[in-house]
A and B are shown apart, each in its own frame.
Chain A
Amino acid sequence: EAGVVQSPRYKIIEKKQPVAFWCNPISGHNTLYWYLQNLGQGPELLIRYENEEAVDDSQLPKDRFSAERLKGVDSTLKIQPAELGDSAVYLCASSFGGGNTGELFFGEGSRLTVL
């Protein structure tokens, strides 16, 4: 069974440019998470979806970050415009079940470098 798939694995952009990350969760997992991980830190939640609904986006910087999960399956996270401080690893995870009750499975992450 395929795990959580993320792309691209690496992205280098100039500041003020846009960037997008894509995630395909494990088949049948209705909950999808986007996390941000800085070096030496634990992941921090950006947004959590249950099916198509964003049920927790309180930590998403909405002035420059947006996300969508149109058909309740794969998801896209966008940053526009990117800033130097956005350099980090963006992790996608999925789980089965609502709330924070299910076991989390992560993708390999997308490493963003903003120059």
Chain B
Amino acid sequence: KQEVTQIPAALSVPEGENLVLNCSFTDSAIYNLQWFRQDPGKGLTSLLLIQSSQREQTSGRLNASLDKSSGRSTLYIAASQPGDSATYLCAVGGYQKVTFGIGTKLQVIP
């Protein structure tokens, strides 16, 4: 059974700081890994999708990496802004199902 862990559970940083969110998973037999952000009371917004054959994906100030062999992914956010405050979830697309972590709640302080 796939287990997905996100550390830390919460993070508070000053505006402008670069930061890294972590996602680890136990079963490396995956199709892909996807990062989402979720604002309070809203659905999940897709940020980046990394296929199992890829090492990283970039979109604007976001960069996600995938190391399948070690069961780890990181989401790097450059020059953080108050608008980045949200909960960030990773989801691992496995052969049986997509498994979500519980997320990292990020607060960027102006």
Using a CB–CB distance below 8 Å, which chain A residues touch chain B? 4, 6, 33, 40-45, 48, 56, 91, 93, 99-101, 103-109, 111
Question: A41-B102, A42-B103 are contacts. A103–B46 as well, Cβ < 8 Å?
Answer: yes
Inter-chain contacts of B42 with A (CB < 8 A) = 108-109
Which candidate, B13-21, B63-71, B75-83, B88-96, is the interface stretch facing chain A? B88-96
Q: Is the CB of B94 within 8 A of A109?
A: no
Residue in contact with A108 in the complex, picked from B43, B89, B93, CB distance below 8 Å: B43
B100 within 8 Å of A by Cβ? yes
For the residues of A in contact with B, the DSSP-based class is loop
B106 within 8 Å of A by Cβ? no
* A62–B38 CA distance with the chains assembled, in angstroms: 29
For the residues of B in contact with A, the DSSP-based class is strand
Q: Is the CB of A100 within 8 A of B43?
A: no
Interface residues on B, range: 20 to 34
Q: Is the CB of A45 within 8 A of B32?
A: no
Q: Is the CB of A104 within 8 A of B102?
A: no
Q: Is the CB of B97 within 8 A of A104?
A: no
Cβ of A11 to closest chain B Cβ, rounded Å: 14
